[in-house]
Amino acid sequence: MSPTKIKVIDLFCGIGGLTHGLIKEGLDVVAGIDNDSSCKFGYEYNNKAQFIDIDILEVTADRINQLFGSEKGTIRVLAGCAPCQPFSKLNLNAITEKQLEPLGKFAQLIAETQPDIVSMENVSDLAIKNKYPAFESFLKVLTDNNYHYKYEVVDVSEFGVPQKRRRLVLLASKFGEIQLIKRTHKDKRVTVRDVIKHLEPIKNGEVSKRDPLHRSRKLAPINLKRIKATPHDGGSSNSWSKDLILDCHKKKSGKTYRHTVYGRMSWDQPAPTMTTQCVGLGNGRYGHPTQNRAISLREAAIFQTFPKDYQFLPSSEPIVINKVAKFIGNAVPVRLGSVIGKSIKEHLSKNYEGRT
């Protein structure tokens, strides 16, 4: 069976991290759907796939079926990462029904369009038994529609992503048992040193003359003092003088949280989880291992395994750090997309051979 016969629609596609990984494995991604129109250029330019700017709640089964087409022998894959903020540990507010609608809509489209294979990626907390009825409902839809499925929480660094990032990955199929391929880097993780040591040094707030994406956000004077006072290669705020410690971190309730922010990355470990705030020093351990700055957009893109030629904005448009950081942090790591693509192909080689 030719890989070109595998057609994919990527729901909640964003800038195209998952799509790009699937395309690298030879899958035909026919369209990405997202309601963030600012992703349209980057998605289409890099993936040569159609970007459909629409709210997922307005997508109909007829639209999905039209995009897949009616060519005989085509394997139809519906993939996506529903917005994960409601299920994140960082979300301290009560989850509203409105926030759960995208995941429910994903399940509805599965039931109405009956794709051959489903892929879903989300935050690891979704796997906590009986914690999120919306996820239990999603699984029930799969069961009721005769899908074999398996989900697991993976640290993507075990697949060669240079980043500690625990995610739930679910695969479902009409054809038989399906699961992710075996871990490729369980015994040897790709480290910060492996992927960014070669980049030219830049200063706080500076832009590389060779690479416009290799730029760091200019730190406030107090934060520049903090990073300078932080030991190289994995250092934290433990070494700061009292005048540098935030008032909220001096309280008993803030002492534990204090060690999760304003730290430097370690050269010989994978990077911490990339988020939309990953280029800010106070939003995590996003300090460069040795240079007195937070990581650059280029470094964040590398940790998310975007290739160097991936273009997030038109060349004529100025680079706004917050905008590009959002594209990068919201994305599925490209390499994880490749792993999902490999898993689908491996599954089909065992379960689809001989079908017509």
Residue 166, phi then psi, degrees to nearest 5 = -90, 125
Quick check: 20 and 46 in contact, CB under 8 A?
yes
- Output the six-digit token pair for 17: 């991290």
Domain 192-330, CATH among 2.60.40.1220, 3.90.120.10, 3.30.2130.10, 3.40.50.300? 3.90.120.10
Q: What value does the mean pLDDT take over residues 30-34? A: 98
Quick check: 101 and 57 in contact, CB under 8 A?
yes
Q: Of 267, 265, 266, 247, nearest to 257 (Cα)?
A: 247
Q: Do domains 3-182+333-351 and 192-330 have the same CATH topology?
A: no
pLDDT, position 255: 56
pLDDT, position 259: 65
pLDDT, position 324: 98
Architecture of domain 3-182+333-351: 3-Layer(aba) Sandwich (3.40)
Residue whose pair of structure tokens reads 């030719």 in the numeric block? 2
Whether 84 is catalytic:
yes
Catalytic residue (one of 39, 81, 84, 278): 84
Q: What value does the mean pLDDT take over residues 85-91? A: 51
pTM score: 0.92
Model confidence pLDDT, tens digit, residues 156-207: 999 999 999 999 999 999 999 999 999 999 999 999 999 999 999 999 999 9
Domain boundaries defined on the chain? 3-182+333-351, 192-330
Which bin fits 235, alpha (ψ -120 to 50), beta or left (φ > 0)?
beta
pLDDT, position 4: 47
